[in-house]
Structures are given as C-alpha cells and as structure tokens.
DNA sequence: TATCTAGTTTATAATAATTCTAAACTAGAA
DNA sequence: TTCTAGTTTAGAATTATTATAAACTAGATA
C-alpha cells in the first residue's frame, strides 16, 4: 500500500484525466511528483529507479504506457535533445534547458533567465505551439 | 561519371578532411551541396532521393556512414527535434528552426531573426558549445 | 603502368529504444 | 457480487541505427 500526503490529490488528478488510479500509476505519480525540484529522466532511468528496491515490480511496458499517458495528460513534458532517446520533465511550465553533452543531463533554465527581444513570425497559417531554447554545454 | 562545376571543390573539401573522394561521397556532396537553399533531411529521405532514379544505388550503410563522416567533418549539422529520428542540416552556420509538428519539416530561422537579450551563465566549469532555439509550430 | 594496401562500400546481422499484441487482471459502476 | 472497459504484463514486432566482415577501390609507390 502506498502512503502519501498527496495520494488523494493524485487520485483526483488521474480521475480528472480519465485515467484510473491504479497501484502502478499512483506509485509512479508518487515517485515523480513527490519532490521539490524538477526531475528530468528517460524511460530507462525511471524504470531502474522505480524498480530498484525489492518491491513489486512495474513492467517496462507499463512504465512506457504511463509516461505516454502522463505526457498526453499534461503532467510531463517530453524533451527531445538526445539522439535515439526521449527525455521527460516534471516541470511542465514553459522553460529552457542546459544539456550537458558529457553527462547527458538536463538542467532547467527558468523562463526569466532568458530574454528573447525578437522572435520571428510563424509561417502563414501556422501557430507557435512552443518555443524552447537548448544550450548545449561541455567541460 | 559525375559532372559538376563544383566537383573539384568537393574533391578538395573531402581531401582536406582526410576523406577519399569516392564516387559515392561525391554523388552525395553534389546532391546535398549543389543547391541555393538550406536542405534539411533525415537519412531515410536522403536515401530515397539519392537512390530514386535508375542510377547505381548507394547502399543505406554508406548513406549512414557518409552522413556521419560529413557531420564530424563539419559539413552537416545534426538537429535533434523529432522523436527517434535524427535530422541533418546543410546550413552549418549558427541558426534556429521552426519545426512543423504536422509535416515534420524544419525551416531555418536566421540568427538575426531572433535576438536574445539575456542568456544564463553556464554551470561552473562548463562552456557553451551551442545555443539553439526551436519553435514548434502547428496549424 | 602494375602492384599494393589502407580506406571504403556493401549486405547483412546485431542492437537499442520503442510500440504492438493479446491474454490475464482489476477498478469501480451497477 | 457481478460485469466490463480499462489496465497491466510478457513477449513479439518494428524502427532507426550501429557493427561486422568480406569484397572493392583510390591513389601512393615501384
Ligand atoms: Mn528509437
Ligand atoms: Mn533508434
Ligand atoms: Zn526542465
Ligand atoms: Zn537549418
């Protein structure tokens, strides 16, 4: 049984997105969202961390399904910055990233740390869905 | 035999990067660089276009090898913007992109069309290798 | 020009991330 | 308690990419 102050909140959140609050989803919610700071991860790392301890394992397929469902529901943001591998971000506010080519880790850049004083108009008939700055860094 | 005003230039270019000017590489050079405008492509699309006509086929492995070699040599830039698939860009100058989520196509944004009046300092000991803005657009 | 060899191309196999499939399970409405 | 649509799961399938190793070739040298 999962115990968390936020359990009820997660149950509601899931229900409001037409997602049944299953053991697996709640465990993943707790793991992802019971934290102060932004969490950036790949499915591989999430799978390892979720299934680290002796606890009942959540299958890899469910990890994939859940991450996709949470992304569609808007609980997670997908970050495409690395070859052949998707990253996900618990910070769903509009913001930017450093991507360290060595450690392959993302770090948040708050929106107010970058100022765009000029932005181009999108092509005719197209709307801006999202604008992201990625700053690749290295030693 | 490939005939092109730029052939000699490509031969030199390749030699200067310690790449032998083979038939295949020259054909790919001609296809990629004998054009006015930036060309954005995936290995899949390049393979289709290069091998469209009845001409002698270049193997997919060679397309992959060549794109990688050209990227390392600095003739191409890799753009990571789409899930599970790399894009490449014949425009190697520092610039930005629109990415159309519908058509999955990239469009250049010249550096001077975006003005960054505030950019964060990279973490200690790290240097900025590259800064790119991606604007995702939709109908 | 003929010979030689490191670099290259190629078909194919292997890998890695992800998606699909279908059977077993379960949340929760009735 | 029963029922069913939604969910989980193991494993197969798919897709993009990378590795392997044999055949080929650019071009240096004899
Ligand atoms: Mn993939
Ligand atoms: Mn891949
Ligand atoms: Zn973030
Ligand atoms: Zn471009």
**pLDDT recorded at residue B108:** 97
* Residue in B100, B35, B120, B131 with CA at minimum distance from that of residue A122: B100
Within 7 Å of a protein beta carbon, the nucleotides of strand D are 6-11, 15-20, 25-27
Q: Cβ contact (<8 Å) for B117 and A120?
A: no
Which pLDDT tens digit goes with each residue over A22-44? 999 999 999 999 998 999 999 99
What average pLDDT does this structure show over B91-112? Answer: 95
Is the distance between the Cβ of A61 and the closest atom of strand D smaller than 7 Å? Answer: yes
Tell me: pLDDT of A8 over 60: yes
**pLDDT recorded at residue A3:** 44
Q: Cβ contact (<8 Å) for B128 and A137?
A: yes
Which pLDDT tens digit goes with each residue over B48-76? 999 998 778 999 999 999 999 999 999 99
Within 7 Å of a protein beta carbon, the nucleotides of strand C are 7-12, 16-21, 26-28
Q: pLDDT class for A2, splitting at 50, 70, 90?
A: very low
Is the distance between the Cβ of B7 and the closest atom of strand D smaller than 7 Å? Answer: no
Helix (H, G, I), strand (E, B) or coil at A89: strand
Closest nt by CA–C1' to B82: D16
Pairing type for strands A85-89 and A40-41 reads antiparallel
**B87: nearest CA in chain A?**
A83
* Least CB–CB distance from A82: residue in B80, B100, B117: B80
**How many whole angstroms separate alpha carbon B84 and alpha carbon B135?**
19
Mean of the per-residue pLDDT values for chain A? Answer: 93
Tokens of A121: 């108009």
Q: Considering only CB atoms, which residues of chain B are within 8 Å of chain A?
A: 78, 80-84, 86, 98, 100-101, 107, 109, 113-120, 122-123, 125-139
Q: Are A133 and B133 in contact (CB under 8 A)?
A: yes
Tell me: pLDDT of A63 over 60: yes
**pLDDT recorded at residue A35:** 93
Tell me: pLDDT of B17 over 50: yes
Which pLDDT tens digit goes with each residue over A96-139? 999 999 999 999 999 999 999 999 999 999 999 999 999 999 99
Separation of A11 CA and C28 C1' (Å): 13
* Residue in A93, B100, A79, B120 with CA at minimum distance from that of residue B131: B120
pTM of the model: 0.91
> Which residue is nearest to the C1' sugar atom of D11, using CA?
A61
């Amino acid at each position: 049984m999962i115990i968390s102050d936020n359990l009820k909140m997660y149950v509601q959140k899931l229900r409001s997105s037409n997602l049944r609050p299953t053991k697996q989803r709640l465990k993943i919610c707790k793991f992802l969202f019971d934290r102060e700071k932004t969490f950036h991860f790949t499915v591989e790392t999430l799978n390892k961390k979720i299934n680290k301890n002796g606890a009942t394992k959540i299958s890899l397929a469910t990890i994939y399904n859940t991450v996709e469902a949470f992304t569609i529901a808007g609980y997670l943001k997908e970050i495409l910055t690395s070859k052949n591998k998707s990253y996900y971000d618990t910070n769903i506010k509009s913001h930017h990233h450093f991507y360290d080519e060595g450690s392959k880790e993302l770090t948040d850049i708050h929106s107010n740390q970058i100022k765009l004083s000029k932005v181009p108009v999108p092509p005719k008939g197209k709307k801006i869905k999202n604008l992201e700055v990625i700053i690749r860094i290295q030693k």
